[in-house]
Amino acid sequence: MVSLLFLLNFIAAIALLRNSLKFGLSVYSFAFFLSIYWFQFHATSTLRILL
């Protein structure tokens, strides 16, 4: 799962270097929101274990 976040950022970087601003930013934004979701998932799962 985390490797997917890195891969998406890599794809976004390549797209931005090739002047594909819309596609690059779309992938970057998707990776960003996926990162937030994954952080929330980890945070709540840890909280569940502690409680």
Rule CB under 8 A: choose which of 37, 44, 46, 51 binds other proteins.
46
Match 């409680």 to its residue by tokens.
51
In whole angstroms, the minimum distance from the beta carbon of 27 to other proteins comes to: 10
H or E element, residue 28: helix 21-50
Cβ proximity of 37 and 45 under 8 Å: no
Task: Give the SS3 label for residue 20.
Answer: coil
Q: Kindly state whether residue 30 participates in binding other proteins, applying the rule CB under 8 A.
A: no
- Residue numbers of the site for other proteins (CB under 8 A)? 1-3, 5-7, 9-10, 12-14, 16-17, 19, 21, 28, 31-32, 35-36, 38-39, 42-43, 46
